[in-house]
Amino acid sequence: MVLLRGASLWIIAALILAWCMVGLAFHVQLLGDIFPGKFHRVLQAHIDFLLMSALILGFYAARVGLPWHVRWSMVIGAFTNSSLFLLMAIFPMLDPSAETRPAQGFLPTLFLVYQFASLLTTSYGFGRGAMTVLRSTFARSDSARAPTC
């Protein structure tokens, strides 16, 4: 259930971001205040939420049993990975393309830690999931084995 719930939540997040982009395109002041950073960062977050949801649904559709920690790593990693773009749109000082030198201070340092934690969590979840699914393709049931002579 965690895969279905997570994918559903991230699809809803992508839908909300789609409406936010419409509002930004129509210069709705409130949305401009919420997302003072680059528009393409909101677009990247939207696309990443959709992509991660599709990946999660693909793993669910494969019907291969995944350990609980892999499922949770996928769902949490999908959120944290997508939210990196969202944070850059909300806090432009975190966007490495916004300045010539990296921002200093507590918030940028916390963002960097969050970024690496997200990278590790996402890589572990989807990487371990992919290896588990791949390994399942080589498993043979007793009924599928050829008779030995």
For residue 40, is it within any domain? yes
Structural domain range at position 8 = 2-138
* pLDDT of 141: 58
Q: Give whole-number Cα distances, 44 to 33, 47, 95, 122, in Å.
A: 19, 5, 13, 17
- Residue 107 has a pLDDT of 86
Q: What pLDDT sits at residue 105? A: 84
22 found inside a domain: yes
**Residue 108: its pLDDT value, please?**
86
pTM attached to this predicted model: 0.85
Domain membership flag for residue 144: no
pLDDT, tens only, 75-129: 999 999 999 999 999 999 898 886 656 677 888 889 999 999 999 999 999 999 9
147: in domain: no
Number of folded domains in the chain? 1
Asked if residue 23 is part of any domain, the answer here is yes
